[in-house]
A and B are shown apart, each in its own frame.
Chain A
Amino acid sequence: MNDMSDKTPRAAQADGDLAVTGLSVSFPVRGGGLLPFLRGKERAAVRAVQDVTLAVRRGEMVGVAGESGSGKSTLARAFVQLQAPTGGRVTLGGQPVSSLDPLAFREQVQMVFQDPYNSLNPRRKVGTIITDSLVVHKRGTPAERRAQALEMLDRVHLTPAHFDRYPHELSGGQRQRVAIARALILNPKFLILDEPTSALDVSVQAKVIDLIQELERDLNLGSLFITHDLNLIGYLTDRVAVMYMGRIVESGAVETIWANPLHPYTRALMEATPSHKSVRGKTRALLKGEIPSNVNLPRGCAFHTRCPRRIPGICDTALPLPQTVEGRTVACHLYNDLPGAAPFAAGPGEEPAA
């Protein structure tokens, strides 16, 4: 199984990568009053993203999967500097983003938002929305900007007639195309897509996905595709990172992980996905219980409260460190050289392959 290790993401960052290193984002919880603050207690915080390291290369699509509340969207927002990290750093081409000119950064990294009914200003025409990116970046004359926007409309398979429409006159799919056009007119190198199809009808989803794939290929974009839809990730992306409670639990090449998920959480997610071929005909072992609170995180591995294979005394005390197992990175005690640990891949009694 080690012949797949050439696909692992541990390869050194190439120049031009968009990457986060040890990224953490936490939000202080409002309330609690002045008293705990005066007593010098640590203020409660929602830890949305914790110690995430992930890189996106040009020409590659990286998927981020996870349940609601796993920190996917916060990670996306941190990638495009809409959310200031509380720890770690974001780098573009090896340079810390904080040292770059904000406009120069935005020129290269753009974002498409989840809900196209919410991400377009209802009072502005499609043409204004798209050309606004150019106005902000002081590019071209009004006529040039218009020409560029029309060209962009064509690229996303809309017509020049859409230039003078208001968002409310468009369908969900058309709106999302406008949002994509707005992001791409700056000619960015990286595109962060935060569940770009989850608000759309299934029939429209496929068309938008096709468009994203086509544009990614044509423009040699590096993109981060955030979704909870594992089928979509399997279909679209080159690499995947599975998140649970703000941490990446398993990451690597999609085909490696999809063929044989190692982390119990990845396994559970895939078994919960209806049409996935690996579970067809099998009975599903659905996860029990709710995702725990982001404020009072469980001790040890955050997944131990729901994990079907937890090792008592270990999983609830120590945080599993990410390690390379069978060509991917996985953070789970099952794959440590610990007594009682038995990975999925190995038979009972065998030593885990490290």
Chain B
Amino acid sequence: MSIPLNAAPGAELPKSGRLSRLRAGLALVVENRSALVGLVCVSLLLLVALFAPLIAPYEVDAFTDGVLEGPSWMHPFGIDQIGRDVFSRVVEGTRISLAVGLLAVTISLVAGTIIGLLAGYYGGMVDSVLMRAMDIVLALPYVLMAVLIAAILGPSLQNGIIAIGLVRIPRFARVVRGATMSVAQLQYVEAARSIGASDFRIILHEILPNILGPLIVYFTLSLGDAILAAAVLSFLGLGAQPPMPEWGAMLNEAQRYLTTHPFLSVFPGIFIFVTVLSFNLLGDGLRDVLDPKSRR
């Protein structure tokens, strides 16, 4: 081996890698107080969803010996109009809401990312055609979309998920397109082309890994929105149908008793609020961490 021109090239290299970067990122999240609150709440919700059957003291559809009772030690969130334990139902609802959010946003993520990558990478006519199509979808409110789908396929949670997922595709496409365009003009993309890499390879290996930051942020922020949208659809009767313990559907059932037994609405409402808020806090925090411009 010839004598290296650099003095001991290996010596000054820091001992780091993916792990230390992850740790540094985590430290930044912890520093950011609202992001930390978001992270803790989201983790708690995930745990609740994961262990729902262990946490819930009663079966979701089991009748207890009371009807329309306020909170007590036995039933912390009270008993609903047909004698079911509200706490058990809210806990089970966490599972449903998180799953619904995840499924809906995954639909938007996958379709939106593919469309955004193609539009941003190829530009020109491909970009124009795809993005004008996205503009059309963007003009549709999700409730209208859900009504449409419900009219065709009948109202169900599954159709609600599809409606919410479809409507959010253009937003993902826009985020991905913008990020793709800014990455595509970087020299390493050109370098990949100069070694002969195919477009598919460039998109997969050079562009996609470098747009994950904004994508993760937008995914997290969208989860909150999608959960809220699912609750709205269920409340309107376009999503989950009773007796499914979905939070929005529970609110729908509870609205008749809003004046007489408000606790029936309060607890599912609080859970919707907290869930949406914590995903938004986490998303904002992640944006601060992942956006290099926000760093000192």
Contacts and interface: CB of A to CB of B under 8 A. Distances in A.
Interface of A: 80, 82, 102-103, 106-107, 110-111, 113-115, 118-124, 132-133, 136-137, 154, 157-159, 161-162, 164-166, 169-170, 173-174, 179, 182-183, 186, 207, 210-211
Interface string B183-221: 000111011111111100100011001100000000000
A166 to B, nearest CB: 7
B196 A123 contact: no
A118 B13 contact: no
Interface stretch (B4-12, B27-35, B52-60): B4-12
Nearest to B18: A166
Contacts of A133: 195-196
Given A110-B194, A114-B187, A211-B5, A159 B209 contact: no
B15 to A, nearest CB: 10
A174 B11 CA distance: 13
In which size bucket is the chain B interface? 20 to 34
Contacts of A80: 194
Contacts of B205: 121, 124, 132
A57 to B, nearest CB: 21
Nearest to A117: B187
Given A159-B4, A165-B13, A82 B195 contact: no
Given A118-B188, A119-B191, A207-B5, 14 more contacts: A82-B194, A102-B196, A132-B192, A133-B196, A136-B195, A136-B197, A136-B198, A154-B1, A158-B9, A169-B14, A173-B6, A182-B195, A183-B195, A207-B6
B259 interface: no
B2 A132 contact: no
A123 B194 contact: no
Interface in B202-244: 205-206, 209-210
A173 B194 CA distance: 21
A107 B109 CA distance: 37
A78 to B, nearest CB: 12
Contacts of B4: 157-159
Contacts of B187: 113-115, 118-119
B210 A123 contact: yes
A112 to B, nearest CB: 9
B16 interface: yes
A123 B186 CA distance: 13
Closest 8 CB pairs of A and B: A106-B196, A123-B209, A161-B10, A119-B187, A118-B187, A121-B188, A133-B195, A207-B5
A106 B194 CA distance: 7
Contacts of B192: 121, 132
A145 B19 CA distance: 26
A236 to B, nearest CB: 17
Contacts of A115: 187
Contacts of A159: 4, 9-10
A123 B16 CA distance: 14
A291 B152 CA distance: 65
Contacts of A170: 13
Interface in B223-279: none
Residue among B4, B5, B192, B210 with the most chain A CB within 10 A? B5
B11 to A, nearest CB: 9
B228 to A, nearest CB: 33
22 contacts: A80-B194, A82-B193, A102-B196, A106-B196, A107-B196, A113-B191, A121-B206, A124-B209, A132-B192, A132-B197, A133-B195, A136-B196, A136-B201, A157-B2, A157-B6, A157-B9, A161-B10, A170-B13, A173-B6, A174-B6, A182-B195, A183-B195
Contacts of B194: 80, 82, 106, 110-111, 183
A166 B198 CA distance: 23
Contacts of B10: 159, 161-162
A82 B192 CA distance: 11
B195 A186 contact: yes
A100 to B, nearest CB: 12
A133 B193 CA distance: 10
A69 B222 CA distance: 44
A319 B184 CA distance: 38
A52 B171 CA distance: 46
Contacts of B195: 106, 110, 132-133, 136-137, 182-183, 186
A186 B4 CA distance: 23
Contacts of A114: 187
A37 to B, nearest CB: 16
B103 to A, nearest CB: 28
B188 to A, nearest CB: 4
A129 B211 CA distance: 18
Given A133-B195, A136-B195, A82 B209 contact: no
Contacts of A122: 210
A94 B77 CA distance: 84
Contacts of A165: 13
Contacts of A121: 188, 192, 205-206, 209-210
B196 A118 contact: no
A157 B17 contact: no
A171 to B, nearest CB: 8
B190 to A, nearest CB: 6
A165 B206 CA distance: 17
Nearest to B206: A121
A124 B208 CA distance: 12
Nearest to A164: B17
B211 to A, nearest CB: 10
Contacts of B14: 169
Nearest to A158: B9
